[in-house]
Structure 1
Amino acid sequence: MSGPAATARSATPMTPPTATLAQQALGYDFDGLPADVVTLAKQCLLDWLAVTLAAWDDPLVGILVSDAEEEGGNPHATLIGRGRRVARAQAALINGAASHALDYDDVNMWMSGHPTVTFTPALLAQAEGRQVSGRAFIEAFVSGYETASRVGWLVQPSHYARGFHATATIGAFAAAAACGRLLRLDAATMATAFGIAGTQAAGLKSVFGTMCKPLHAGLAARAGLQAARWAARGFTSRGDILECAQGFAATHSQDFNADKALGPAPQGFHIRNNLFKYHAACYLTHAPIECVKQLRLNHAIQPQDVRAITLKIDQETDKVCNIQQPASGLEAKFSLKLTTAFALAGIDTAAMSSYSAANANDPRLARLRDKVAIDFQNGWPHTLAEVRVELANGRHVEARFDSGVPEGDVARQGDKLVAKYRALATPVLGEAKAEALLELVQRLETLDSIDPLLSATGR
């Protein structure tokens, strides 16, 4: 958007998004939530706990913990998987970064990012020790989730295309909404919290493949937590940060989709479009992985049978996950070619151990990786892929997959997530503790306080 349209975008719209979204964020009451939305919120929480526990000993988490311990502070909030407490803002930062460290957490394409990792660490930090019930937690959880998607609609697609990591930027608003709902802010104060969050919202896609990408989730959680707490204490900011001249939309995007952001959510709630990960890599690699898995299994393809591989995928993925020659496990998660090679070689793309420097530098896998040619398409869904494999005998086989379609059966999805949770949490907690934590999540709405759930996350 340019010229007159950009100027018009800075004017106050008929329905101001900041005030409206602030009001909407306060309107989620447990008794009014459909049963499947409550179930989805608990599934998101379970998945978040699984990926956070699995990252308890990740090097980036160790760095942040060491820094927090040196800094000190009142130990109010639990570090997941470590059995110790730090200050609330520190816990939001560290748990947020940990939950995104493996890049194994959930996704929402309307937000163009990872929703749950941005506000759950903030919610837990704010709720601990305050007798917050499971029902109140779920209300705030849904508030954060829906706000993330609505702010995402407001500024996409150019926000992400410009190089901003929506998990970091939009996530700050989600965390502010969730914590503001928990604090029972009024609408005007919630809008102020959005203003405080908006001026902190930052995060660049250029750092993908480094520790800074998972850090973004922690920064969003901390910014939103502090924004809500500071607003409640009387800290001032603008109450129109999303739409004002030189505000969030004007500086971060060429788009301003107020009607979409404020209108009805697809299927009634944005959380119904949540996408869970079953491969421990960037979500935009998942469709190619699924294509190749189908072909390998259906046609009994062996790596030595492959002459060439052609991957058709949206052009925007080139800016996100097209590291040509990854040298580390983190970089491997953002390599379309290498993850495609993994799937073709039968490497378990769900296992975190697969994304290692050894695999990234394996000559056999590198040769297979270099047989992948990417044919970028303009205007495709980010989650759609087509793969054609040419075989040494002259045959070719093809597959197509769209990873952007949510699971239609919530109960079946729950079974898959329990299996994922057990695979990730049991090695950290042991079977008995992992099952006890699972049981608490599954009956979250019956808890008088979430403190027992947090206590159950310690090793």
Structure 2
Amino acid sequence: MQQPERGAGEVLGAFVADTDPGAIAPPLRHEAKRALLNFLGCALGVSRDPAVTTAIGVLRPFSGAATATLVGQAARLDAMGAAFVNTVAGNLLDYDDTHLATVIHPTAAVAGAALALAETRGLPGAALLHAFLLGAEVECRIGLAVSPGHYARGWHITSTCGVFGAAAACARLLGLDAAGCATALGIAASQSAGLVENLSYGAKNVGMGNAARNGLLAALFAEAGYTAAPTAIEGKLGWARAMGDVPRLPDMLDGLGERWEFARNTYKPYPSGIVFHALIDACLALRERLGAAVGGIESVTVRGDQLLLDRGDRVVRTARDSRVSIHHGAAVALLRGRAGVPEFEDGAVWDPAVAALRGRVRAVLDDAMPRGAVAVTVALANGRSETVRVEAARGSLEQPLSDAELEAKFRDNAALGGTTDAASAQIAAVWGLEEAGALGRLLGLMAGRA
């Protein structure tokens, strides 16, 4: 594809402004509901986490009129604050969705911003769903055009591209025309940030919250008449090149509205980085195969691609580290036979047996392994060894979680957040989003007000 006569932001802006809801097939609209159900459940599960309550405490003194719901909280904030906090909550445990081609978690920043704006402006569920879908697609398209180099250079792609998705969704909700939507994306380009180095620290949460808040802010400034360069994304001194990549414009712009990257979204069965899911599957299978002999493990060898090692060959010092650790994921799956939220909290991290087995796990680069695949070999003290190779993890495009599995995950998260009584009504409200009027009932349920 040749360089477009219009800037990338202009092409994407026209897509956001002009795409009619009727042009989107029902299965894709259903996928958007699945994503929102997953996001809201993840946010409910951490409603009592200090990272969430601290964020509320920091933002509350500076909040304007409290017009927007905080998931799992009685308190409310203004739209900017709610966008920030709900995005942090939805993404906190690395339990949210993933677009594997970019390793973007598409929903958190886009849904966090769109929900806050839609509630504040009294917009219906169908409008929210449509805007969310368009924003998530823009986010994934921009990320695809700069992957994998953008992430490899240290940019946290979920937050750096999440701001574009949030801006696009909010621009659509505000009813901006194509030029206005393009301007929102151009303004968002100047507000994109987030570092891989900070992924196991609280600074990651700030980057995620800002992606949502800054995307909303970009759309509001565009609505108010601020301007931005048409080539703010791909220009010689624009976002992509400033962050180190010449963007592949065909990946970003070709087939908009026909080929949907968001259709390739996936959902996690385990609260850890997605590149560790095949590892966990393999270790769970090995545990079942070994039975009682699992207590005699002498060593564990994990073979995977460079991305797996880059993300997970690390010393575990905190619970956050455990969610992006090859060694911990293998140890808890083998010893405990499960890999839910409790297996990545302090109780499991500092369990002496888990820590001891972590020390016997070795990660080995295998360039022949496709992204996401893994082979795990367990050697026992008696000389026996067993190997399991997993190419497509549970939750991947090849083995997607069903609606029933997503509902079960939602209920598990709701139980962690202490809100099990409302789970059935909450789930039903998400599935009925397109038929709902204003979002008051859904968000009231999510906050425990109904």
User: TM-score, normalising length from structure 1?
Assistant: 0.92
Is 1:73 aligned with 2:69? no
Tell me which residue corresponds to 1:444: 433
Q: For the residues of structure 2 that align with 1:39 and 1:302, how far apart are their CA atoms?
A: 44
Matches within 5 A, 1:165-204: 165-204=156-195
Tell me which residue corresponds to 2:375: 386
Q: For the residues of structure 2 that align with 1:73 and 1:367, how far apart are their CA atoms?
A: 50
What one-letter code is carried by the residue in structure 2 that aligns with 1:423?
Answer: D
Deviates more, 1:416-425 or 1:368-377: 368-377
User: Any idea what SS the aligned residue of 1:389 has?
Assistant: strand
User: Any idea what SS the aligned residue of 1:26 has?
Assistant: helix
CA gap of 1:16–1:235, structure 2 versus 1, over 3 A, is closer
CA deviations on 1:323-344 (whole Å, 9 max, x unpaired) are 22x1221111121111111111
Number of residue pairs matched by the alignment: 446
Q: For the residues of structure 2 that align with 1:184 and 1:336, how far apart are their CA atoms?
A: 45
1:143 CA displacement: 0.3
Deviates more, 1:353-362 or 1:191-200: 353-362
Q: For the residues of structure 1 that align with 2:150 and 2:367, how far apart are their CA atoms?
A: 17
Q: For the residues of structure 2 that align with 1:270 and 1:136, how far apart are their CA atoms?
A: 20
Identical-residue share of aligned pairs (%): 30
Is 1:362 aligned with 2:325? no
Q: For the residues of structure 2 that align with 1:138 and 1:457, how far apart are their CA atoms?
A: 17
Q: For the residues of structure 1 that align with 2:431 and 2:87, how far apart are their CA atoms?
A: 22
Is 1:82 aligned with 2:73? yes
User: Any idea what SS the aligned residue of 2:347 has?
Assistant: helix
Indicate which of 216, 223, 235 corresponds to 1:225: 216
Tell me which residue corresponds to 1:344: 334
1:258 CA displacement: 0.7
Deviates more, 1:267-276 or 1:79-88: 267-276
What one-letter code is carried by the residue in structure 2 that aligns with 1:135?
Answer: A
1:402 CA displacement: 3.2
CA deviations on 1:93-142 (whole Å, 9 max, x unpaired) are 11111111111111112332111001101001100143312221111011
CA deviations on 1:174-223 (whole Å, 9 max, x unpaired) are 10111111112111111111111111100000012111223322111111
Is 1:279 aligned with 2:243? no
Q: For the residues of structure 2 that align with 1:374 and 1:216, how far apart are their CA atoms?
A: 29
Q: For the residues of structure 1 that align with 2:250 and 2:3, how far apart are their CA atoms?
A: 14
5+ residue gaps in structure 2? none
Q: For the residues of structure 1 that align with 2:94 and 2:385, how far apart are their CA atoms?
A: 33
Q: For the residues of structure 2 that align with 1:49 and 1:290, how far apart are their CA atoms?
A: 25
CA RMSD, 1 decimal: 2.1
Indicate which of 233, 243, 250 corresponds to 1:259: 250
Q: For the residues of structure 1 that align with 2:396 and 2:416, how far apart are their CA atoms?
A: 29
Q: For the residues of structure 1 that align with 2:382 and 2:323, how far apart are their CA atoms?
A: 31
1:265 CA displacement: 7.2
Tell me which residue corresponds to 2:386: 397
5+ residue gaps in structure 1? 1-10
Q: For the residues of structure 1 that align with 2:415 and 2:428, how far apart are their CA atoms?
A: 14
Indicate which of 389, 405, 418 corresponds to 2:407: 418
Is 1:270 aligned with 2:261? yes
1:72 CA displacement: 3.4
User: Any idea what SS the aligned residue of 2:312 has?
Assistant: coil
- Kept in 2, the 8 Å contact 1:192–1:239? The answer is yes
User: TM-score, normalising length from structure 2?
Assistant: 0.93
Indicate which of 262, 266, 289 corresponds to 1:298: 289
Q: For the residues of structure 1 that align with 2:383 and 2:5, how far apart are their CA atoms?
A: 62
Tell me which residue corresponds to 2:364: 375
CA gap of 1:230–1:177, structure 2 versus 1, over 3 A, is same
Q: For the residues of structure 2 that align with 1:214 and 1:81, how far apart are their CA atoms?
A: 18
User: Runs of at least 4 residues of structure 1 off by over 6 A?
Assistant: none
Is 1:215 aligned with 2:206? yes
What one-letter code is carried by the residue in structure 1 that aligns with 2:350?
Answer: N
User: Any idea what SS the aligned residue of 1:387 has?
Assistant: strand
1:168 CA displacement: 0.8
Tell me which residue corresponds to 2:237: 246
- Kept in 2, the 8 Å contact 1:96–1:221? The answer is yes
User: Any idea what SS the aligned residue of 1:320 has?
Assistant: helix
What one-letter code is carried by the residue in structure 1 that aligns with 2:77?
Answer: V
User: Any idea what SS the aligned residue of 1:128 has?
Assistant: helix
What one-letter code is carried by the residue in structure 2 that aligns with 1:19?
Answer: E
CA gap of 1:301–1:226, structure 2 versus 1, over 3 A, is farther
Q: For the residues of structure 2 that align with 1:331 and 1:431, how far apart are their CA atoms?
A: 29
- Kept in 2, the 8 Å contact 1:156–1:253? The answer is no
- Kept in 2, the 8 Å contact 1:208–1:320? The answer is no
